[in-house]
Amino acid sequence: MASARTVAATVVLVSALAAAAGAQPADAALENGFSALQRGDADAAAAVFRGALTTRPRDPVVLYGAGYAEHLQGHETAALDLLKQAVQIEPRLLQAAVLLGEIASRSGDLDLAIKTYERVLAQAPANMAVRARLESWQSEARVAGRFEAYKDDRFTIMFDGPAQQQLAARATATLGSAFWRIAATLGSSPASPINVIFYTQQQFHDITGAPEWAGGGFDGQIRLPLRGAGTNLAEFDRVLIHELTHAMLDKIASRNVPAWLHEGLALHFEGHDAARAGRRLSAARLFVPLRALQGGFSRLDAVQAAVAYEESAFAADALLARIGPQGLGTLLADLDGGQPLDQAVERFGFSFAAFEAELSKKLNVRPVPLSHE
CATH number at residue 118: 1.25.40.10
Does some domain include residue 228?
yes
Say what the pLDDT of residue 204 is: 85
Query: In this structure, what CATH number is given to the domain that contains residue 222?
Result: 3.40.30.160
Note whether 119 and 91 are same-domain residues.
Answer: yes
Note whether 268 and 195 are same-domain residues.
Answer: no
Give Cβ neighbours of residue 233 (< 8 Å, ≥ 6 apart): 170
Note whether 136 and 25 are same-domain residues.
Answer: yes
Among 263, 257, 247, residue whose Cα is nearest residue 192: 247
Note whether 76 and 206 are same-domain residues.
Answer: no
pLDDT tens string, the chain, 373 residues long: the values are 223 333 333 433 344 334 334 444 458 889 999 999 988 889 999 999 999 999 999 999 999 999 999 999 989 999 999 999 999 999 999 999 999 999 999 888 999 999 999 999 999 999 999 999 999 999 899 888 888 888 888 999 998 878 788 889 999 999 999 999 999 999 888 888 899 999 888 888 888 887 777 788 898 899 998 877 777 889 999 999 999 999 999 999 988 999 999 999 999 999 999 999 999 999 989 888 999 898 888 788 888 888 999 999 999 999 999 999 999 999 999 999 889 999 999 999 999 999 999 999 999 988 777 665 4
Note whether 171 and 276 are same-domain residues.
Answer: no
Note whether 204 and 323 are same-domain residues.
Answer: no
Does some domain include residue 372?
no
Does some domain include residue 140?
yes
Number of domains in the chain: 3
**Where in the sequence is the domain holding 322, given as residue range(s)?**
259-363
Q: Which of 144, 168, 188 corresponds to the end of one domain? A: 144
DSSP state of 295: S
Does some domain include residue 373?
no
Does some domain include residue 191?
yes
Note whether 14 and 140 are same-domain residues.
Answer: yes
Note whether 214 and 277 are same-domain residues.
Answer: no
Say what the pLDDT of residue 371 is: 62
Q: Are 252 and 191 in contact (CB under 8 A)?
A: no
Give 97: exposed, middle or buried? Use CB within 10 Å, 0-12, 13-18, 19+.
buried
Q: Which of 226, 252, 278 corresponds to the end of one domain? A: 252
Say what the pLDDT of residue 13 is: 38
Note whether 29 and 126 are same-domain residues.
Answer: yes
Note whether 274 and 359 are same-domain residues.
Answer: yes
Q: Are 61 and 23 in contact (CB under 8 A)?
A: yes
Long-range contacts of 135-138 (CB under 8 A, 24+ apart): 136/207, 136/209, 137/105, 137/110, 137/113, 138/114
Say what the pLDDT of residue 92 is: 94
Does some domain include residue 371?
no
Does some domain include residue 117?
yes
Note whether 274 and 244 are same-domain residues.
Answer: no
Does some domain include residue 29?
yes
Torsion of CA 171, 173, 175, 178, to 10 degrees: -140
Say what the pLDDT of residue 119 is: 96
Note whether 245 and 328 are same-domain residues.
Answer: no
Q: Which of 102, 121, 144 corresponds to the end of one domain? A: 144
